[in-house]
Amino acid sequence: MPLQINEIENLIKKSIPDAEIEIKDLMGDNNHYEATIKSKLFNNLNKIEQHKLVYKSLEGKMGNELHALAIKTKEQ
Amino acid sequence: MDDQTKNTIQSHVDNNEVCLFMKGTPDAPQCGFSMAVSNMLKILEVNFKGVNVLEDQSIREGIKVFSDWPTIPQLYVKKEFIGGCDIVKEMYENGELKKIFEDKGINYKKD
């Protein structure tokens, strides 16, 4: 069962409460998404650490239910 | 991950200055994200080793634990984990990828 956009947002918000999130469904198939996420929590982290923070918020769904989620992280 | 898998992954990383764990091969990628990173390296004319994780399920799962990273492709340069498709693409676009090759003494196309 693919994840819906609001489910992805809720998961991210749960662990990154200040996140400003914009998610696009790239192919209109509920399966290929691109998320742009802004948060103060990214400040002073390198890109790998920023993306890991997002992956952790997705509770292991990345690479499983969530097949394709491109991530862009931005500091605030 | 068992020791044998870990050693196999470690030896790929140790023996190839630029090592891309990917789905498929550089000539026949099996996933758009793997193809994207492979093509960026080709455009920069970087000599790299593509490790096809689809050929070995233990590497496919093991590399995620090894790097603490849930997705494939994964790029290593001189034993350092650089990132997955999103990060490498961003670095390709803003010039940081070339800088890494420059700093680490990897040959690439300068223009």
Distance, CA of A47 to CA of B108 (rounded, Å): 23
Could B70 and A48 be called an inter-chain contact, meaning their C-beta atoms sit closer than 8 Å?
no
What average pLDDT does the segment A43-68 reach?
Answer: 92
Least confident of A43-52, A67-76, B70-79, B100-109: A67-76
Domains and CATH numbers, chain A: 5-75 (3.30.300.90)
Structural tokens at position A28:
């209109």
> For residue B70, is the peptide bond before it cis, meaning its omega torsion is within 30 degrees of 0?
no
Q: Give residue-wise pLDDT tens across range A3-53.
A: 899 999 999 999 999 999 999 999 888 888 999 999 999 999 999 999 999
A19: three-class secondary structure by DSSP? coil
Structural tokens at position B90:
């961003």
Q: Is residue B26 part of a domain?
A: yes
What is the domain-level CATH number for residue B58? 3.40.30.10
pLDDT at A28: 87
Cβ–Cβ contact A27 with B under 8 A: no
ipTM score here? Answer: 0.86
Unique residue bearing structure tokens 């290929």: A32
Could A55 and B70 be called an inter-chain contact, meaning their C-beta atoms sit closer than 8 Å?
yes
Which residues of chain A are within 8 Å of residue B69 when distances are taken between CB atoms?
48, 52, 55
Q: Is residue B108 part of a domain?
A: no
Could B71 and A62 be called an inter-chain contact, meaning their C-beta atoms sit closer than 8 Å?
yes
